[in-house]
C-alpha cells in the first residue's frame, strides 16, 4: 500500500495542526500499546484519530499486510518504508462509530485487530505497538495469585474509591475489591457478578493497566488474569503485573468480549505505598 500525495501532505502538516488542536483542550497523546496475547479473544486495540491530523503507528516487530474492511473512505492507511503505518480520517467519527482494520503477523498467528475512533478528550499523534515480554518470576506470581483466590474472604485490603473501581453493564458489574503490593508487582482481586437473575454471567476476558512514564508516554498493557471460583453468585479473578520503573498515575480497565472497559484510576496511595 503506497501513500497518496494527499496523505503525505497531511502527514507533513500534522505538526502545525497539532499545535492548533492542542489549544482546543484535547490531549495530544504519545502511547505505547502492548499487543494482546490472543488478539481474537479480546477487544481490539483502539487508535484515537482526528480529521486534520495523522496518527503514526510504529511496530517493534515485523508487521504484515493491512486489511481495512470499511469501504466508505473514512479512513486512509499508508505504509511507510520502515513498516510504520499512517492513519488519517477524512472526517471525525461520531460517538460510538468505529472503523476496524487488521494487521497480519507471522504465518499461522491471529492478526492484530485495531479500531479507529474519535475521542473528544484525546488524539493519538504516535502509537508504538510492542510485543509482551516474559518477565522473571511469573510462575511465582501465579502461585501467589492462586493463593489469594483460594484464601478466605478476609484478604488484605486497600480502600478504593467507589468511582474508581467499578465497571457496570446493563446486567453485570465488575469491581476491584482489593489490592496487594509486593515490591514492584501488583496483585488485584476483581469480582464479577450479575445484577439480574437468570442472565448468563458476564465474561471478563482481559484486564489492562495504564500508566504515565517519565517521558510523558502513556503505556497500556494487558495483565495476567487468573479466574477463580464462583462464590454466592460472584466470580473472582486475580490480575497481576510488574510495573515499569518510574510509573505514575496507575489506572485499570476491565474488558468483556468486544466491549472494552474504560480506564479507572487506582488511588495514588497504591503507588505511594509500594516499596
Per-residue pLDDT tens digits of the chain, which is 275 residues long: 444 444 444 444 444 444 445 445 678 999 999 999 889 999 999 999 999 999 999 999 999 999 998 878 999 999 999 999 999 999 999 999 999 999 999 888 999 999 999 999 999 999 999 998 766 667 777 778 777 777 655 344 444 433 334 555 555 678 888 888 887 888 888 888 876 666 666 788 999 999 999 899 999 999 999 888 776 677 889 999 988 887 888 899 999 887 898 998 875 533 333 32
C-alpha cell at position 24:
482546543
Contacts of 196 (CB under 8 A, 6+ apart): 170, 171
Q: What angle do CA 226, 262, 65 make, to 5 degrees?
A: 80
pTM over 0.85: no
39-to-34, 45, 128, 134, 214 alpha-carbon distances in Å: 11, 9, 17, 17, 29
Instruction: Give CA–CA dist 176/169, Å, rounded.
Output: 15
Amino acid at each position: 500500500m503506497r501513500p497518496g500525495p494527499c496523505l503525505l501532505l497531511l502527514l507533513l502538516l500534522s505538526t502545525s495542526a497539532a499545535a492548533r488542536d492542542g489549544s482546543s483542550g484535547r490531549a495530544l497523546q504519545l502511547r505505547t500499546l502492548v499487543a494482546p496475547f490472543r488478539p481474537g479473544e479480546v477487544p481490539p486495540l483502539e487508535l484515537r484519530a482526528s480529521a486534520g491530523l495523522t496518527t503514526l503507528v510504529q511496530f517493534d516487530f515485523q508487521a504484515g499486510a493491512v486489511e481495512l474492511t470499511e469501504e466508505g473512505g473514512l479512513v486512509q492507511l499508508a505504509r511507510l518504508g520502515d513498516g510504520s503505518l499512517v492513519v488519517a480520517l477524512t472526517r471525525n467519527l461520531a460517538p460510538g462509530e468505529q472503523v476496524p482494520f487488521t494487521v497480519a503477523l507471522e504465518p499461522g498467528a491471529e492478526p492484530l485487530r485495531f479500531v479507529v475512533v474519535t475521542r473528544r478528550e484525546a488524539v493519538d499523534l504516535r502509537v508504538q505497538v510492542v510485543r509482551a515480554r516474559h518477565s522473571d518470576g511469573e510462575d511465582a506470581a501465579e502461585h501467589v495469585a492462586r493463593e489469594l483466590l483460594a484464601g478466605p474472604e478476609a484478604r488484605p485490603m486497600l480502600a478504593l474509591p467507589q468511582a474508581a473501581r467499578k465497571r457496570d453493564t446493563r446486567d453485570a458489574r465488575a469491581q476491584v475489591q482489593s489490592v496487594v503490593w509486593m515490591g514492584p508487582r501488583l496483585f488485584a482481586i476483581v469480582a464479577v457478578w450479575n445484577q439480574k437473575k437468570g442472565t448468563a454471567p458476564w465474561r471478563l476476558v482481559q484486564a489492562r493497566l495504564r500508566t504515565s512514564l517519565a517521558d510523558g508516554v502513556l503505556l497500556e498493557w494487558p495483565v495476567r488474569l487468573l479466574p477463580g471460583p464462583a462464590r454466592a453468585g460472584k466470580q473472582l479473578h486475580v490480575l497481576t503485573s510488574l510495573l515499569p520503573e518510574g510509573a505514575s498515575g496507575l489506572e485499570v480497565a476491565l474488558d468483556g468480549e468486544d466491549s472494552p472497559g474504560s480506564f479507572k484510576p487506582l488511588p495514588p496511595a497504591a503507588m505511594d505505598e509500594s516499596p
